[in-house]
Structure 1
Amino acid sequence: MLRIENLQKNFGAVKALRDASLKLEKGEIRALLGANGSGKSTLVKVLSGLNRKDGGRIFLNETDIQISSPAVSKKYGIAMAYQDLSLIPELSLEENLVLGSEPGTSWGSLRKNQIREYAEKMIEVLGIQAAPDTQVKEMDLSNQGLAEVAKAMYTKPQILILDEITASMHHDQVERLFTYLKREREKGMSILYVSHRFEEVYAFCETATILRGGISVKEVCLKETAPDRLVYYMTGEETKRESPDTPLCADEERKLLLQVENLTVGRQVKKVSLRLREGEIIGIAGLQGQGQSEFLRALYGVCAYQGGRILLAGEEMKIRSPKDAVKRGIGFISGDREKEEIFPVRNVAENLLIVEHAMKSLFSYHPASKCRKAALDIMDRLQIVASGTQAQADSLSGGNQQKLVVGRWLSRSPRLLLLDDPTKGVDVAARGEINRLFQEMTSSGTAIIYSSSDNDELLEIAQKIYVFYEGEIVKELTGQELNGESLARAMLGVTEEVPGDE
């Protein structure tokens, strides 16, 4: 059905695609895999008409086609749900779902009943938690992601491309989405799925094409390929199974750093209490919207809290702003790079040193040579791939952008680091590198609260997991309880064994 041969795309001196090839049959669900910077997003943007190819050929049903714009891509029956979302925040959900393909009458007016009917159908099918007339900016990221898919499906495409669309979704939402899309596949639709979540790739896809350095290096049948081999094809390196260099010390040997007592944040967080020791990593788990993000942001001074106490090293704190938090040695990293972390049109050095500069006097002098050296040191330590310290941040791959966010906290050595899904949308290799950095930081005493939408990631890195359900901590998992089954139960509010489950 779709065949790509020797695709090439350059951005100045950077060769994003060198020799990319891919086949997608009718009714096939194929994964497109690769490390950050491998060319995945560039390839799908060529197919969607956002980027024009510099070489190679694209065939649709054996016809050589030229995709020069999103409108032309849509004409060929290709639709794409974007990781960065193509929704307009100020418009309603139903307006966004038909944006660019609005049904109209011969008199030029919109068929509002038809628009409302489609919106209500997709809300029910995908479980979107919003009314048709809800402004998109009032919806959380997970529901915006579902709306992005619903928008792509409005044109009834032959080929649907999903670019990291599940990065902000939780397991229940992903399962419902996959069930819907598999039904559409049975009707003949083909799907190209870009994701870093191997669990989803194996659950949803049958085959995979793997890119490395802008080149297609392998096509595999997923049933016959182990995850370790996928990592090898993506990176060119065998998977290393290493334990942390610094052994974890017993709780009683660590000093108590943070005490949270009965913290209440609006209606989202209800009398939450927890304790954290120096050098410890604790996890926060829960389905989407159970209060995890609001809890972390209250500790960082972004969300006001209405009750409870926060004590750092035994001293009660009133944190009214992020600047208050940073002064007390608290750092924060969000996985929502575009909205909360990266300054896209600023350069690499500015992004890496923003915290340092923000905490100094307004009239402080920052010598260019000193800033460049500091930025280069961090780039070298984190192995950030960029053309230099002056490269614009949005020219970097997603994984390297997230390393910029991590890098800005390295020089400050925070006492407490708050992480809200920090590796969202980052490939497996970069995720491992970033999490190793977090573990290194704990060896110097930094304590970490780690919230993640990926249960396996939490189980790998956390020594204790607090599970949020409807704004409360319903379970504290330690020791042998740190397993997938116990975690999944607690996330659904089931905190005791159910008779007959054995």
Structure 2
Amino acid sequence: MSSPVITPLVEARGVAKRYGPTVALADGRLTVLAGESHALVGRNGAGKSTLVTVLTGLQAPDEGEVRFDGEPAPALTDRDAWRRRVACVYQKPTVVPELTVAENLFINRQPTGPGGFISWRRLRAQAAELLDTWDVRVDPEARTRELKVEDRQMVEIARALSFGARFIVLDEPTAQLDNREIERLFTRMRALQESGVTFLFISHHLQEVYEVCQTVTVLRDARWITTAPVADLPRAALVEAMAGESVAEHESRYVRGAAAADAPVVLTAHGLTSEAYENADLTVRGGEVVGLAGSSGSGKIELAESFAGLHTPTGGTAELGGEKLPFGDVQAALRAGVGCVPRDRHEQGLVAAMTVGDNAVMSVLNRLGRFGFVATETRRAVARELIERLDIHTEGPEQPVSDLSGGNAQKVVMARALASDPRLLVLINPTAGVDVKSKESLLARVDSAREDGTAVLVVSDELDDLRRCDRVLVLFHGRIVAEHRAGWRDHELIASIEGVDHG
């Protein structure tokens, strides 16, 4: 007796999409069964984002088709029909920060009373009922901008479910979450799955794929490579499918050097204190890479941002190259010799309306010309050199930076940080939301900076980023509580981060 044929909840076949001469997707395929969490992985530029725009009805494919429950996808103009089938929760919020949770949940479809006026009482009641139905524990009257990232994501998921959609695309949902927040998100995802919600989970963190997904689809070079049960695909095979090379080849490229013990001290901090951290002492030598690790409330990011001029500590001192480091002034920190890759490339790192070249050289314009005037060819030449140095995949310096993939956009931010030949390079989550290949390229720049004698401070939740460090300092509730020398084991560092091995 043959087994019954299961109709996929979502199916994409032979999807192709071109933008002029650029082939964004040549052979996109996806088969998602109801009730599963299905991972979509691949390097930046593999075609993931393009496939998602087709799956969510933002663009029509040039070739191929998309089906929901065996039926052809709606016309692009029928937005309500698309909302009933699919929704995407992006890294960047799509909620209106100044509105309340209730207002965001029912924006443009608020319940009305007599005279056509909005019934605020019914709006709050409907919002509370919706949040309760899906066990989203958020105050309907809270301003959305005041929510944690994980709660904002759940509000966006609840809004999608309220339209009737049961297929939710999560695009890099963990990029801004710490370990505890990620575990809470996964717990909520599993509960929603049991309630009949299906997820397409896009992540560069392969460990997460194994933790929360049942099936994985790999894209590479704009083509479908494989779809397999996660349990049947070892991590080495998954990396090989994504990168087109074996893990041994991938890992053999990197052999970590060590900073010389007699190298001059570049950065010294004594007793630095603020609302986020207290009594922080640290030194970083030239050619040394020091990591800062900790949970999201540990103060690690705020401490690093202080060195880059983004915050002013309430106590303590810091010196860079023997001179007092200016706090609370980004330009002054830049002049003092600090280069920084900030925590959020969208909000702090890039000017989306400007070109790749203008973004790359923004920090060194005063060096390229006098009295604010910079020859166009000089600017282009410096930009081209940075593009080549960072292996930025772009049509040239004049391409809008907003056209780039996440990995290449992050390389532009790194290029600008390196353009000023800094004495201290501060990197905050430098590989968040980038693919395996771009991550390797960005971390190779850390090695180059080390070889040039630059002092490097790396703040990251990524163990792979921290593995490049000579030392990792762990912050817990604002205090530096542990130091791990190169060669630490994962469980040792995680125990420090989680507060397991200290009181």
Same fold (TM over 0.5): yes
Match of 2:251 among 221, 241, 244: 241
Q: 1:244 to 1:235 in 2, by over 3 A?
A: closer
* 1: CA distance, partners of 2:371 / 2:75: 51
* 2: CA distance, partners of 1:185 / 1:404: 38
Letter in 2 for 1:383: D
* 1: CA distance, partners of 2:484 / 2:125: 49
Q: What residue is the counterpart of 1:473 in the other structure?
A: 480
Per mean C-alpha deviation after superposition, the further-off stretch among 279-288 and 135-144 is 135-144
* 2: CA distance, partners of 1:13 / 1:72: 33
Q: What residue is the counterpart of 2:3 in the other structure?
A: none
Match of 2:409 among 401, 405, 424: 401
Matched, 1:344 2:355: no
Per mean C-alpha deviation after superposition, the further-off stretch among 18-27 and 100-109 is 100-109
Q: Could you tell me whether the CA contact under 8 Å between 1:399 and 1:427 is conserved in 2?
A: yes
Aligned 1:251-270 pairs, distance under 5 A? 251=261, 253-265=262-274, 267-270=275-278
Q: Could you tell me whether the CA contact under 8 Å between 2:83 and 2:165 is conserved in 1?
A: no
Q: 1:42 to 1:263 in 2, by over 3 A?
A: same
Q: What residue is the counterpart of 2:492 in the other structure?
A: 486
Letter in 2 for 1:99: I
Match of 2:22 among 11, 14, 21: 14
Q: 1:393 to 1:109 in 2, by over 3 A?
A: same
Structure 1: give runs of 5+ residues left out of the alignment: 498-502
Q: Could you tell me whether the CA contact under 8 Å between 2:16 and 2:25 is conserved in 1?
A: yes
Size of the aligned set, in residue pairs, is: 490
1:270 aligned counterpart, secondary structure: coil
Q: Could you tell me whether the CA contact under 8 Å between 1:47 and 1:73 is conserved in 2?
A: no
Matched, 1:55 2:66: no
Per mean C-alpha deviation after superposition, the further-off stretch among 17-26 and 461-470 is 461-470
Q: Residue by residue, what CA displacement relative to the aligned partner does 1:12-43 show, whole Å, maximum 9, x if unpaired?
A: 33221222111111112111111101111121
1:269 aligned counterpart, secondary structure: coil
Match of 2:190 among 172, 177, 182: 182
Matched, 1:496 2:502: yes
Matched, 1:305 2:334: no
1:35 aligned counterpart, secondary structure: coil
1:139 Cα deviation from its structure 2 partner: 4.2
Q: What residue is the counterpart of 1:228 in the other structure?
A: 236
* 2: CA distance, partners of 1:125 / 1:293: 31
* 2: CA distance, partners of 1:226 / 1:132: 43
Q: Residue by residue, what CA displacement relative to the aligned partner does 1:174-231 show, whole Å, maximum 9, x if unpaired?
A: 1111112112212332211111010101111111111122221211222121223222
* 1: CA distance, partners of 2:136 / 2:493: 24
> Percent of aligned positions with the same letter in both sequences?
28
Q: What residue is the counterpart of 2:461 in the other structure?
A: 453
Q: Could you tell me whether the CA contact under 8 Å between 1:94 and 1:119 is conserved in 2?
A: no
1:424 Cα deviation from its structure 2 partner: 0.7
Return the TM-score normalized by structure 1: 0.90
Aligned 1:108-187 pairs, distance under 5 A? 109-110=118-119, 111-118=122-129, 121=132, 131-139=139-147, 141=149, 143-187=151-195
Q: 1:458 to 1:431 in 2, by over 3 A?
A: closer
* 2: CA distance, partners of 1:119 / 1:330: 48
Q: Could you tell me whether the CA contact under 8 Å between 1:210 and 1:218 is conserved in 2?
A: yes
Q: What residue is the counterpart of 1:429 in the other structure?
A: 437
Per mean C-alpha deviation after superposition, the further-off stretch among 393-402 and 140-149 is 140-149
Q: Residue by residue, what CA displacement relative to the aligned partner does 1:328-374 show, whole Å, maximum 9, x if unpaired?
A: 11011024111001111211111111111156677333222222222
1:79 aligned counterpart, secondary structure: strand
* 2: CA distance, partners of 1:105 / 1:229: 59
Per mean C-alpha deviation after superposition, the further-off stretch among 435-444 and 79-88 is 79-88
Match of 2:424 among 379, 391, 416: 416
Q: Could you tell me whether the CA contact under 8 Å between 2:110 and 2:118 is conserved in 1?
A: no
Match of 1:386 among 385, 388, 394: 394
Q: 1:108 to 1:210 in 2, by over 3 A?
A: farther
* 2: CA distance, partners of 1:281 / 1:48: 42
Q: Could you tell me whether the CA contact under 8 Å between 1:27 and 1:186 is conserved in 2?
A: yes
Q: What residue is the counterpart of 1:500 in the other structure?
A: none
* 1: CA distance, partners of 2:124 / 2:328: 47
1:479 Cα deviation from its structure 2 partner: 5.2
Q: Could you tell me whether the CA contact under 8 Å between 1:256 and 1:276 is conserved in 2?
A: yes
Q: 1:145 to 1:310 in 2, by over 3 A?
A: farther
Structure 2: give runs of 5+ residues left out of the alignment: 1-8
Per mean C-alpha deviation after superposition, the further-off stretch among 426-435 and 59-68 is 59-68
Q: Could you tell me whether the CA contact under 8 Å between 2:341 and 2:349 is conserved in 1?
A: yes
Letter in 2 for 1:478: R
Per mean C-alpha deviation after superposition, the further-off stretch among 466-475 and 99-108 is 99-108
Q: Residue by residue, what CA displacement relative to the aligned partner does 1:378-432 show, whole Å, maximum 9, x if unpaired?
A: 2222221122221111111111100111112333221111111111100112111
Q: 1:247 to 1:475 in 2, by over 3 A?
A: closer
Q: What residue is the counterpart of 1:290 in the other structure?
A: 298
Q: Residue by residue, what CA displacement relative to the aligned partner does 1:464-487 show, whole Å, maximum 9, x if unpaired?
A: 22222222222222356x222222
Return the TM-score normalized by structure 2: 0.90
* 2: CA distance, partners of 1:44 / 1:73: 17
Per mean C-alpha deviation after superposition, the further-off stretch among 368-377 and 357-366 is 357-366
